[in-house]
Protein backbone atom coordinates (compact mmCIF):
# COMPACT_ATOMS: atom_id res chain seq x y z
CA UNK A 1 0.00 0.00 0.00
CA UNK A 2 2.89 2.36 0.68
CA UNK A 3 3.68 2.62 -3.03
CA UNK A 4 0.18 3.74 -4.06
CA UNK A 5 0.22 7.45 -4.94
CA UNK A 6 -1.90 9.54 -2.57
CA UNK A 7 -2.06 6.94 0.20
CA UNK A 8 0.18 7.10 3.27
CA UNK A 9 0.26 4.22 5.72
CA UNK A 10 2.01 4.06 9.04
CA UNK A 11 2.81 0.68 10.57
CA UNK A 12 -0.02 -0.36 12.91
CA UNK A 13 0.67 -0.24 16.62
CA UNK A 14 -0.43 -3.69 17.71
CA UNK A 15 -3.85 -4.15 16.10
CA UNK A 16 -4.73 -5.78 12.79
CA UNK A 17 -6.13 -2.57 11.35
CA UNK A 18 -4.43 -0.14 9.02
CA UNK A 19 -5.50 3.49 9.19
CA UNK A 20 -4.55 4.86 5.77
CA UNK A 21 -4.18 8.60 5.19
CA UNK A 22 -5.88 9.25 1.85
CA UNK A 23 -6.01 13.05 2.16
CA UNK A 24 -3.75 13.70 -0.83
CA UNK A 25 -5.78 11.32 -2.98
CA UNK A 26 -9.00 13.06 -1.93
CA UNK A 27 -7.55 16.48 -2.75
CA UNK A 28 -6.46 15.29 -6.17
CA UNK A 29 -9.81 13.71 -7.04
CA UNK A 30 -12.29 15.93 -5.17
CA UNK A 31 -13.78 12.86 -3.51
CA UNK A 32 -14.88 12.66 0.11
CA UNK A 33 -13.75 9.88 2.40
CA UNK A 34 -17.22 8.35 2.35
CA UNK A 35 -17.43 8.48 -1.45
CA UNK A 36 -13.95 6.95 -1.83
CA UNK A 37 -14.89 4.07 0.47
CA UNK A 38 -18.11 3.49 -1.50
CA UNK A 39 -16.32 3.57 -4.86
CA UNK A 40 -13.63 1.18 -3.64
CA UNK A 41 -16.37 -1.26 -2.68
CA UNK A 42 -18.46 -0.80 -5.83
CA UNK A 43 -15.68 -0.52 -8.40
CA UNK A 44 -12.83 -2.56 -6.90
CA UNK A 45 -14.59 -4.97 -4.55
CA UNK A 46 -12.52 -3.77 -1.56
CA UNK A 47 -14.32 -3.09 1.71
CA UNK A 48 -12.97 -0.24 3.83
CA UNK A 49 -14.40 1.83 6.67
CA UNK A 50 -14.34 5.58 6.12
CA UNK A 51 -12.59 7.34 8.97
CA UNK A 52 -15.67 9.53 9.35
CA UNK A 53 -17.43 6.51 10.88
CA UNK A 54 -15.26 7.25 13.93
CA UNK A 55 -15.97 11.00 14.02
CA UNK A 56 -15.34 14.18 12.06
CA UNK A 57 -11.58 13.98 12.60
CA UNK A 58 -11.58 10.80 10.50
CA UNK A 59 -12.08 12.72 7.25
CA UNK A 60 -9.16 11.83 5.00
CA UNK A 61 -8.61 8.35 6.43
CA UNK A 62 -9.73 4.83 5.60
CA UNK A 63 -9.58 1.90 7.99
CA UNK A 64 -8.65 -1.47 6.53
CA UNK A 65 -8.32 -4.84 8.23
CA UNK A 66 -5.39 -7.07 7.45
CA UNK A 67 -6.72 -10.09 9.30
CA UNK A 68 -6.79 -12.17 6.15
CA UNK A 69 -4.46 -14.42 4.23
CA UNK A 70 -1.39 -12.92 2.58
CA UNK A 71 -2.89 -13.80 -0.79
CA UNK A 72 -6.12 -11.94 -0.04
CA UNK A 73 -4.22 -8.92 1.29
CA UNK A 74 -2.03 -8.79 -1.80
CA UNK A 75 -5.10 -9.01 -4.02
CA UNK A 76 -6.81 -6.22 -2.08
CA UNK A 77 -3.74 -3.99 -2.42
CA UNK A 78 -3.56 -4.80 -6.14
CA UNK A 79 -7.22 -3.82 -6.57
CA UNK A 80 -6.73 -0.56 -4.68
CA UNK A 81 -3.70 0.24 -6.83
CA UNK A 82 -5.64 -0.47 -10.03
CA UNK A 83 -8.53 1.68 -8.80
CA UNK A 84 -6.20 4.62 -8.05
CA UNK A 85 -4.52 4.18 -11.44
CA UNK A 86 -7.92 4.48 -13.15
CA UNK A 87 -8.75 7.59 -11.10
CA UNK A 88 -5.45 9.16 -12.13
CA UNK A 89 -5.95 8.25 -15.79
CA UNK A 90 -9.41 9.81 -15.72
CA UNK A 91 -7.95 13.01 -14.22
CA UNK A 92 -5.32 13.15 -16.95
CA UNK A 93 -8.02 12.80 -19.61
CA UNK A 94 -9.89 15.76 -18.13
CA UNK A 95 -6.81 17.99 -18.26
Confidence of residue 1 (pLDDT cuts 50, 70, 90): confident
Strand order in the sheet with 8-9: 8-9, 17-21, 61-65, 49-50
**Is the pLDDT at 15 greater than 90, yes or no?**
no
- The DSSP H or E segment spanning 9 is strand 8-9
pLDDT at 95: 62
pTM of the model: 0.91
Q: How far is CA 60 from CA 71, 76, 93, in A?
A: 27, 20, 25
Amino acid sequence: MADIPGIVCRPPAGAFYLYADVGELLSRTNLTTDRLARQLLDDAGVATIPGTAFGDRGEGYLRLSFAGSDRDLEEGARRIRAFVDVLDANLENLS
